[in-house]
Structure 1
Amino acid sequence: MTQTLPSYLKHHFLLAMPHMEDPRFAHTLIYLCEHNEEGAMGLVINRPSGLNLGDVLEQTSPELSVPLEVGGRTVFNGGPVQSERGFVLHRGPQQWESSLNLGPLQLTTSRDILVDMSRGQGPSESFVALGYAGWEAGQLERELVDNVWLSCPADYRILFEVDAEQRLEAAARSLGIDLNLLTSQTGHA
C-alpha cells in the first residue's frame, strides 16, 4: 500500500466561505505564507487597518522624513496573532535583515525594510500588515474538510494590483465562483 503525502497549500489563497462564523475571518482572503505538517501561517490581505505606513513609521522611526507617496500606503490587519508585529510581503531579490525566502515572494519582519521603503529603496511590489493568521498542526486541514475555506493558487496580481475591497471577489472569480451565489448551508452527501 502506498502512502500519499499530504497536499499543502503554501502560496495559495484561502477564501472565507459565506457561512464563516468567526468575525475575525468573515469575508477575508488570506495569502498562505507557510503550510506544512506543523501548521500554517498566512496574512489577511483584504482588511485595511485604518493605519497607513506613515503612521507606523512615525511610531517606529520618528526621525525619518517619509514622502507622502510612501507614507500614505495602507497597512492591513494581517490577522489576530501578534497584531503589534509588522510583516512586509514582497517581491524582489534583495534580502533585508530578517527576511524569509518564500520562493516567489519574501516575508520581512525587520525595521530596515521600512526605512528603505521610506527612502524609496524598498521593493517595487509590497504588502504591509500588522499581525498574522495561524493554525496549529492539522487545524487548517480540519477547517477545509468542514468547508470553512475555499482555496486556490495565489495570483500575485490580486495581491499587488487589485484594490483591497475587490480581492476576495477576484480570487473567487479565478475559481469561476460568485460568492454571492453560495449558500451558507453546509452538509455532507
Structure 2
Amino acid sequence: MTATFPSLAGHFLIAMPLMSDPHFAESVVYILTHDEQGALGIIINRPSGLTLADVLEQLQPEHATLSDSDDQDVFLGGPVQSELGFVLHNIGPQFQGTMNFGSLSLTSSQDALAAIAQGQGPQQNLIALGHAGWGAGQLEEELRDNAWLSCPADPNVIFSTPIEQRRSAAAALLGVDLERLSHQVGHA
C-alpha cells in the first residue's frame, strides 16, 4: 500500500544532513505547488554569486545605472531551467507572468526585475535563477527516504532572515536543531 502525502504547497523542505544531491545539500526549498503531477519550488538559501546589477547588465546593458538594489543577491533557485529568472515576492504587485501561490507570488518576467532595480518592485522579493522540480511521485519517494524535513513556511525566513541562518530558522519552526540530528536514517 502506498502512503498518500498531503500537498506541501506553501511549505519549506529542509534538506536532511545526509542529502547527497549537491543541488540540494543543506538547502531550504519553498514549495509553490505540489500535486499528483509533481512539485515546484525555489531554493531560498543558495546565493549564486551574482547580483541584480549583474543580471540586468546581461539582459539590458543600456540600463546600466539602477537604484540601491543593484547589489541584491540573486539565488540559485534550483537545477531546472537555470537559465531563466524568477522573482518570489509578496502578493500584490502584478507583472507579466505573475502567478499567485497561496501567500506568495512568482513572476518570471523581466518587468519585475526592472521594477525592483528602479525601487518600484515588491517590497519583499527573492530573485532566483532556475527552480526545483519533481516529477509525479518523486518528492514523495524522497520524503519516504527521509531526505527532507517539511514544515509550513514562514515568509520572514525567506525575506527577513540572513541567508546563512535560513536553514536553521526553517528547522526551528519545527523545534529542530539541525546540529543535533543524527546522521543515521532508519524506518520503523
TM score, norm. by length of structure 1: 0.94
Q: 1:20 is matched with which residue?
A: 19
**Residue 165 of structure 1: how far off its partner (Å):** 0.7
Moved >2 Å (runs of 4+): 65-68
CA distance in 2, matches of 1:92, 1:186: 38
Report percent identity of matched pairs.
53
Q: 1:136 is matched with which residue?
A: 135
Q: 1:34 is matched with which residue?
A: 33
Superposition map of 1:49-128 within 5 A? 49-128=48-127
Local SS of the residue matching 1:166: helix
CA distance in 2, matches of 1:185, 1:157: 31
> Which amino acid in structure 1 is aligned with residue 156 of structure 2?
R
CA distance in 2, matches of 1:188, 1:5: 17
> Which amino acid in structure 1 is aligned with residue 33 of structure 2?
E
CA distance in 2, matches of 1:118, 1:149: 34
Contact 2:5 2:140 in 1 (8 A): no
Report the RMSD for the aligned CA atoms in angstroms: 1.4
CA distance in 1, matches of 2:179, 2:134: 27
> Which amino acid in structure 2 is aligned with residue 57 of structure 1?
L
In the alignment, structure 2 segments of 5+ residues that lack a partner are none
CA distance in 2, matches of 1:6, 1:29: 19
**Residue 118 of structure 1: how far off its partner (Å):** 1.7
**Residue 5 of structure 1: how far off its partner (Å):** 7.0
TM score, norm. by length of structure 2: 0.95
> Which amino acid in structure 2 is aligned with residue 21 of structure 1?
S
Deviation sequence 1:141-164 (CA, Å, 0-9, x none): 111111000000001000000011
CA distance in 2, matches of 1:162, 1:170: 8
In the alignment, structure 1 segments of 5+ residues that lack a partner are none
**Residue 120 of structure 1: how far off its partner (Å):** 1.3
Equivalent pairs, count: 186
CA distance in 1, matches of 2:100, 2:185: 37
CA distance in 1, matches of 2:185, 2:26: 17
CA distance in 2, matches of 1:92, 1:21: 34
